[in-house]
Structure 1
Amino acid sequence: MTDEAYGALRASAALWAGASVLITNRRGQVLLQRVGYRPTRLLPGGAVERESPAQAAARELEEELGVKVSVTRGLAVDWVSPAGRATPPVMKFPGEVLHVFDGGVWDEERIASIRPAPGEIEAVEFAEPADLPALMEPGDARRALAALRARINGTGPVLLEDGRPLVPTLLDRVNAFTRHRAAHHWPWHGGPAPAGMPVRQCWGWLFAPDGRVLTLLDPANGAACLPGGTPEPQDHGDPATTLTREVAEEAAARISDPVLLGYLPDEHASSGPCARVRMAARLTDVGPSRPDPATGQTYVRALATPEQVTELFDWGPGAADQLQAVHQARSLLRIPKAAHQPVSELTGPACW
């Protein structure tokens, strides 16, 4: 082919290019924009002009939000097919390659500095990830959630087609963030619960030898919980006994003697004020997965770093203090700090 013919051929197959930015607050909620020209919410971003996608993302943030941010980390690259976006036929939408960048976690000071572009951005709001499908177009919501999961996994940009990953990770397979995260905005207190305050729950941070911890995921919606549960009469008021029993029932696992981390005071529990205890232990043995006899639920057993675990919940300001106590216990148990890696399934059996 001549250069002219080859250029014409490539031009006939040209796609649009776009860039958007995933930004969260410290609670893990996603920044969305309300615009006057669409009924659904959008991530900040827009068309790539005569610039790189990263330059376009940074430019759009400054134009739309009035915030200057360097954008360097990619989360997802999505091929949006002509059928993957609802556009007027007259637009002749040819498809688009859309890059999603990581805008980071914004604190209150940076959020307060947002100045929405007048005439374009009507409002800016932070939404719980599980609410994105109701607020955004389906493809936009899939893309945003896939980018959020990629950020937690930390494996670099994922490849998507119409918002669906070509190679789904564990968080994709269990549809993480499609159900509201457990919101536990209680202050953290180290040490035992006060005398007279009943213990209604005991959860455990259970360490594998590589420093990751066991997390239980609902296979249908990815809802996460740490192993543990409610004290029973046969536990005789001993949180360590409760945790050991619940871990065996829920996760078919055995642990070393637990150490107490602290507790969370729940002043508004339906049964009255109570303490929710947190402990730490080593995982020593994991058997074949089986249903929890109390609920009939068979959880997906996952290994995640402690930092990844906190992103699966909405624990508020107390999360940082609890995380610090977790790492202190990890050092006491002589467990190494986990390297950042994707959340992975623990299929078992295993013995450490």
Structure 2
Amino acid sequence: MTTSDFAAYIAGLPRVLAAAAALFRDAEGSVLLVEPNYREGWGLPGGTVESDDGESPRQGARRETAEEIGLDVELGRLLAVDWVQGPGRPPLVAYLYDGGVLGDGDFDAIRLQEEELLSWRLVPRAELSAYLPGALGRRVLTALDVLEAEGAGAAELENGRRVS
């Protein structure tokens, strides 16, 4: 296979997007959410994995967290991988990592990326579905379940629902 044949082969393969986020909590278990200015609703600190530049999902989650909220912390274990389909775009593979429990000093150090974010807040588990509808909300609730289950591995999800 020539170089041009290989390039044509690669160009013809299906596409998938990748995103990664961090799940930060306070001592009471409330989850840190951010409010973007480019769409309605709330989300987690994170974003697109720059895979064309060689970035891994873990690296992308850490970079996005540092850019969006000013916290550059080593992330914990992978909690969930979600295959999310949506209209008008390729499927998205969303990776969710444990950001850990933050203390008051960490929350005081949060500096929002004003180009993308309006605000942040801590939301108790019981209220998460009101802020994070659909697949993202299901993904976050499943990740919290994984954290509570001793020795549990990462959850495999499709559109926020467990596969197995």
TM-score > 0.5, shorter chain as reference: yes
* C-alpha separation in 2, matches of 1:136 and 1:41: 6
Paired position in structure 1 for 2:45: 44
* Cα deviation code 1:26-50 (max 9, x no counterpart): 0000100012122211011000002
Out of 123, 129, 146, which is 1:127 matched to?
A: 123
Aligned runs of 1:28-107 on 2, under 5 Å?
A: 28-49=29-50, 50=53, 51-83=55-87, 92-107=88-103
* C-alpha separation in 1, matches of 2:36 and 2:140: 17
Paired position in structure 2 for 1:260: none
Contact 1:54 1:72 in 2 (8 A): no
CA-CA distance at 1:4 after TM superposition:
4.2
* C-alpha separation in 1, matches of 2:6 and 2:119: 48
Contact 2:75 2:100 in 1 (8 A): no
Contact 1:40 1:136 in 2 (8 A): yes
* C-alpha separation in 2, matches of 1:58 and 1:4: 31
* C-alpha separation in 2, matches of 1:43 and 1:126: 11
Q: Which amino acid aligns with 2:155?
A: V
User: TM-score under structure 2 normalisation?
Assistant: 0.89
Q: Which amino acid aligns with 2:108?
A: A
Q: Where does the alignment leave 5 or more consecutive residues of structure 1 unmatched?
A: 84-91, 168-352
Paired position in structure 1 for 2:23: 22
Out of 159, 163, 168, which is 2:160 matched to?
A: 163
Paired position in structure 2 for 1:311: none
Paired position in structure 1 for 2:109: 113
> Relative to 1, partners in 2 of residues 1:36 and 1:8: Cα closer, same or farther, differing over 3 Å?
closer
* C-alpha separation in 2, matches of 1:162 and 1:104: 24
Aligned runs of 1:264-279 on 2, under 5 Å?
A: none
CA-CA distance at 1:127 after TM superposition:
0.3
CA-CA distance at 1:156 after TM superposition:
2.2
* Cα deviation code 1:163-186 (max 9, x no counterpart): 00112xxxxxxxxxxxxxxxxxxx
CA-CA distance at 1:95 after TM superposition:
1.0
* C-alpha separation in 1, matches of 2:7 and 2:20: 30
Aligned runs of 1:1-352 on 2, under 5 Å?
A: 3-10=6-13, 13-49=14-50, 50=53, 51-83=55-87, 92-153=88-149, 154-167=151-164
* C-alpha separation in 2, matches of 1:4 and 1:119: 36
CA-CA distance at 1:5 after TM superposition:
4.8
Q: Which amino acid aligns with 2:162?
A: P
* C-alpha separation in 2, matches of 1:108 and 1:71: 18
Q: Which amino acid aligns with 1:22?
A: L
* Cα deviation code 1:217-246 (max 9, x no counterpart): xxxxxxxxxxxxxxxxxxxxxxxxxxxxxx
Contact 2:16 2:92 in 1 (8 A): yes
Q: Which amino acid aligns with 1:25?
A: D
Paired position in structure 2 for 1:293: none
How many pairs are equivalent? 157
The secondary structure found in structure 2 opposite 1:67 is coil
CA-CA distance at 1:22 after TM superposition:
0.7
Larger of the two Rg values belongs to structure: 1
Larger relative contact order, structure 1 or 2 (CA cutoff 8 Å, min sep 6): 2
CA-CA distance at 1:105 after TM superposition:
0.6
Q: Where does the alignment leave 5 or more consecutive residues of structure 2 unmatched?
A: none
Contact 1:116 1:122 in 2 (8 A): yes
* Cα deviation code 1:295-332 (max 9, x no counterpart): xxxxxxxxxxxxxxxxxxxxxxxxxxxxxxxxxxxxxx
Q: Which amino acid aligns with 1:3?
A: F
